[in-house]
Structure 1
Amino acid sequence: MDRQVKPALRWEAQAATVLLVAAPERMVANAEGIAASGARLVAQVTPEAADARIAQQIALDLIAFDATGIPPELASETAAALAAWADERECRIVATLPAAAIDAVASPLIASAATLLCDASPAEHAAALLAALPQPGARLHDATREREAERLRLLNEEVARLAEVLSQLAAERPSFDASVGLRETGGGFRAEPASAPDPDPRTVRAAIRARRLREQHFSAELFADPAWDMLLDLYAARLERRRVSVSSLCIAAAVPPTTALRWIGTLHDAGLFGREPDPGDKRRAHITLTQRAADAMRSYFAQLERTWTVAD
């Protein structure tokens, strides 16, 4: 009998710990999902009690925050408090939010490497929990978690590649042959110097419209490229001296909100996106291009213009 009890004790000791923060009517569904992930729910509290609860908490593996049914102001304050605590203790956050709460909840969490889910299905929520939780030594192999981890790995690799390309565009000078115009074999076209003038915002908007035009003739899934769509939108907004909210950028990405939020976080981590506090509402933030990304976009359009000139 002792041999049957000891393995159960080892499993419990190795189980990841999770704190659930949600509205009362969302507690049961979230708790069931956490239990199904194999994690140990240490407490479940409402947003009003979250500050006091995390102040008592020494360590956690994960905070599960469900903003559904919570007033935007309270949801934003709770998200900011959870992000600050998690950053200090290297704790992961999985946040579930309705589309209407994207600006209130996502803004304070983007810089915290949180997993953001918008109107997620139970399967999407389960996959996010499994991907965020540390893997206990005694836990059985889980194919869903492996698929999610592999997808996130590929996503990070793609963003790293994009960041490298943009960095090279911003750093390299053009290779120009007066007889044939701009030319470079093997390494691709080179960028204009960083001092190249910004393009007319209408040029960038035309590029965005051209991308949307494809969807009238081909399936949108064939050309999904949210990183580039968001870079274009933020660059156009920068030239127009216009601020871009998180929700607006999700729309510009032309993909489901959860996918867009994941890309925003990844591009932020890659040093291409920054956050600018909203002067009228300290709880919210706008997404901006970093100087590095803006320089690369300027170089891209300068080189593109010269390419068109040579072609003519």
Structure 2
Amino acid sequence: MSETIAPALLAPATSCGVFIIATPDRLAALQQLVAASGARLLGAVTPGNAAARLADQISLDLLLFDASSLAAGEAADVAIALAGSMAGRDCRIVTLLDVASIDAVAGPMFDAGATLLCNPSPTELAAALAGALAPGGTRLHDAAREREAERLRLLNEEVARLAEVLSQLAADPANGVRDRSSGYRGEPLAEPDPDPRAVRSTIRARRLRDQHFAPELFADPAWDMLLDLYAARLEGRRVSVSSLCIAAAVPPTTALRWIGTMHDAGLFGREPDPTDKRRAHITLTDRAAAAMRGYFRAAERAGLVPA
């Protein structure tokens, strides 16, 4: 954290109370950051002492948990304990992690409603802290989140439209011929899933663009993650949080924010790893899978190659 923190990004003097959990080598820098924000430092402890100390802490506005220096197993245990102890408490959580600890920490921290920052710069960390400490009515304007919210709204509308089209196709075949008799009518056949190779081809075509244009020109993490999860569903594979972050083709912090947003929108689900209950896999909900199925079948019937 040697980079100078821009004062404009820090919150004004505030009475908010902050509690820090970090390894000894990280505590001093985080304490300095909290002091610069004008917040009150309620405590700063190492992960091993966090549970007992938090149990005695009655008032708490922000919990700052740094998992980036912890081994994956320890990070997972602390994250699970913190998620449990923070349940039902009106407390914001900012969690720092590195790429190696994403799978261990993301699941329980998502459940706790935490803001996740992967290898943040000091300026990014200061901005996240300022946003978390700002009063509800004076939160800092987050243009990136606003753009993502608008894109998610449009995505939700498209998912709903595709699901409706799929429902109509299943009930009424494309040729318009159906049995209108009043007798017994069997259940309509469900639209079949596409060949997973078609989905993978779409993903490869999207990544091919990155060899000729700057990747940020086509950044669309929501769609990239939907494609990856749908291909994995067809192949019977599980997708970890870190793997999905890679598929999103954006910085990990941005990908983690999108995963949380898509989960809140009912498009992504989470299921525990059967071999390690501390970890979680990301899945498509049935609603999202039905929309993806309808999209690929519609593209196939139109003779289009999805991009």
Distance 2:94 2:19 in 1: 11
Which 5+ residue runs of structure 1 have no aligned equivalent?
1-10, 180-192
Going from structure 1 to structure 2, the CA distance change for 1:224 and 1:53 (only over 3 Å counts) comes to: same
Q: Percent identity?
A: 58
Distance in 1 (alpha carbons) for counterparts of 2:136 and 2:219 = 35
> Scaled by the length of structure 2, what TM-score is found?
0.84
1:200 counterpart residue number: 195
The alpha-carbon deviation at position 156 of structure 1 amounts to 2.2
Structure 1 residue 134: Cα displacement: 3.6
Find out whether 1:155 has 2:148 as its counterpart: yes
TM-score (norm 1): 0.83
Distance 2:189 2:174 in 1: 20
* Greater CA drift, 257-266 or 56-65: 56-65
Match of 2:182 in 1: none
Deviation for aligned residue 1:136: 8.2
Q: Deviations over 1:168-201 (max 9, x none)?
A: 211233599869xxxxxxxxxxxxx992111110
Counterpart secondary structure, 2:269: strand
SS at match of 1:89: coil
Q: Which residue of structure 1 aligns with residue 16 of structure 2?
A: 16
> Does 2:230 match 1:251?
no
Moved more, 214-223 or 169-178: 169-178
CA drift at 1:71: 1.9
> How far apart, in 2, do the equivalents of 1:158 and 1:85 lie?
34
Q: Is residue 146 of structure 2 the alignment partner of residue 146 of structure 1?
A: no
Q: State how far apart, in whole Å, the 2-side matches of 1:81 and 1:60 are.
A: 17
Counterpart for residue 161 of structure 2: 168
Distance 1:273 1:34 in 2: 34
What is the rounded CA distance, in whole Å, between the counterparts of 1:165 and 1:150 in structure 2?
Answer: 23
> 3-state DSSP class of the match of 1:146?
coil
Q: How does 1:67-146 map to 2 (within 5 A)?
A: 67-135=67-135, 146=140
2:181 equivalent in structure 1: none
- Give yes or no for contact 1:60–1:91 (8 Å, CA) kept in 2: yes
Aligned equivalents of 1:222, 1:163: Cα separation in 2: 22
Shift of 1:53: 1.4
Give the residue type in structure 2 aligned to 1:27.
Answer: L
Residue deviations 1:57-101 (CA, integer Å, cap 9, x gap): 223211100012212111111111222233311321111111111
Aligned residues: 278
Answer yes or no: is the 8 Å Cα contact 1:103–1:245 preserved in 2: yes
* 1:136–1:291 CA distance, 2 compared to 1 (3 A): closer
Secondary structure of 1:64's partner?
strand
**Could you say what secondary structure the match of 2:211 adopts?**
coil
| Structure 1 residue 41: Cα displacement | 1.4
Distance in 2 of aligned mates of 1:26 and 1:232: 38
